[in-house]
Amino acid sequence: MKVAIYIRVSTEDQAREGYSIRGQKKDLTDYCRSNSLEVANIYIDDGYSAKDTNRPKLKEMLKAAANNEFKAILVYKLDRFTRSVRDLYDLLEKLNKFGVGFISKQEKFDTTTAMGRAMIGILGVFAQFERETTAERVRMGMVQKALEGKKPGGKYPYGYDEQGSSLPKEFSVLRQLRALYMEGLSYQSIAAHFTRLGIKRRRYNWTANTVALTLENPFYAGIIRFGSKLPNGKYPQRKREERVDVVEAEGSHEAVWTIEEFNEHIELMRRRSTGGFGRINTYWFNGVLRCGRCGSAMYGRLTTKRSLKDGTAIRSAYYWCSRRKENKSCDMPMFRQTHVEHLIFEHVKKIITDNELIDSDKKKFAAVEQKRQDSIKSLEQDIKKVNARIDKWQYAFAEEIISLDDLKKRMDEEKKSLDILNAKLDKIKDSNKPQINDTIFNLPSLWKMTNDEEKQDIVCAIFKKITLHTEERNVKGKKNTFFPATAEIEYR
């Protein structure tokens, strides 16, 4: 019968206690010879704990088991495989589905026999008991932490370091995020604005979803919450054993905004989601509009109410430079929203009719994307080479070709190389793929059929940056409707 040998050593202490790679390998190969077992492969996890099943060679072995490359797995002792009854039961259930047995030399545990298979059922009872008692202990501990004003678990969110201390630069971004939302920008517009400025949420670009989740997070208002509650006060659908009461307490951490500010923007989010966010508060081009004079962002504002002859009160949307708004350091005139719309459609019409420009852009984007894909392939190949070298160092140690000190030195070097390569790969994969958005060619007809929110989404999906240019400075009265200006546009 073909068997796979699995060996695990996590610390030097275990090596001194007789669990060394060399010791396990010798005992298990001798066991195979004396029991007429054929060794199909040897899998070695060096430096990994048995606290969970997240081990590279264990995963590789389970994949081979699914492919019927052997009929049983042989370990020196049960704790070499796992230290959790629950994990052991789950692993044995998985192996049973593959038709693969499990043998532990020290405990004489063998699921290839009738008695060994009966043990799986007994393990299942203990696994369920362990699962429930662990969940209960964890839940009680997390509730107590929340009541004490401490974060009950998990990583601290954006804005805080690993110890829960505030990060001034990220706090500034969070306050800016809320200010943009209160000024009328949508989640998507805020995300696009931050992406254009190169502001990331840790290593990743902001998205509409992460903007919304940030605004909804009570932690930023100094509130520790354990348990889930929907905005309407109802609980989400959960299994009975997972349902817990919501615990809220004042946290000991520094808050980004006050509870009053939190309640204010939560209420605004609810109004917008239920249709209470009217047309008059939507600015189509927020998040992508830039001042061509100073380079700052341009934001929407409304004129004061004026009445038509029939008594209808109206307010018009304008855009103004943020520097002009904050400290009057820029003299860029304000633009009507209809003026910006006109400038953009004039530009779009030229793009649609200019076939040569379209072809040129497609070729340029295709070349950039090909270079990106080549870089990804090259990095993935380099990662495979490093993993192959790690395997060779482990087997060299098992065969006593190199010492333990040499192995540790080599493994440290290879792991550093892996970290660098994986970081580069993540960066390239996270980068936006350049492409021509086909929506632009249907924009004139599509624009007429959309409401304000949909217009805003379309703008953020198509345009990366719209920079307004004009020689005008002091524009007043009717002249402010359409004055000489141009729009410089960058597409996503």
Nearest to 172 by CA among 197, 152, 150, 154: 197
* 491 in Cβ contact with 461 (< 8 Å): no
* 189 in Cβ contact with 305 (< 8 Å): no
> Which residue shows structure tokens 């995963």?
59
User: What number of other Cβ atoms are within 10 A of residue 353's Cβ?
Assistant: 9
Taking CA atoms, 118 is separated from 101, 104, 111, 127, 337, in Å, by 13, 15, 8, 15, 75
User: Helix or strand or coil: residue 54?
Assistant: coil
Question: 313-314 and 289-291 as β-strands: parallel, antiparallel, unpaired?
Answer: unpaired
Q: Catalytic residue at 10?
A: yes
> Which residue shows structure tokens 């990095």?
379
Residue 299: both structure tokens together:
């934001």
Supply angle C-alpha 426, 220, 163, rounded to 5: 65
Residue 414: both structure tokens together:
């290879």
Q: Compute the distance between CA of residue 474 and CA of residue 142 in angstroms, rounded to an integer.
A: 61
Q: Could you tell me which residues come within 8 angstroms of residue 377 by beta carbon, excluding any fewer than 6 positions away?
A: none
Q: Compute the distance between CA of residue 412 and CA of residue 418 in angstroms, rounded to an integer.
A: 10
Nearest to 156 by CA among 166, 146, 148, 164: 164
User: What number of other Cβ atoms are within 10 A of residue 310's Cβ?
Assistant: 5
Q: Point out the catalytic residue in the list 10, 166, 296, 417.
A: 10
Residue 138: both structure tokens together:
């964890």
The helix (H) or strand (E) run that includes residue 272 is helix 259-273
Question: 247-250 and 289-291 as β-strands: parallel, antiparallel, unpaired?
Answer: unpaired
Q: Identify the bridge partners of residue 488 per DSSP, sorted by sequence position.
A: 467
**Active site amino acids:** 10
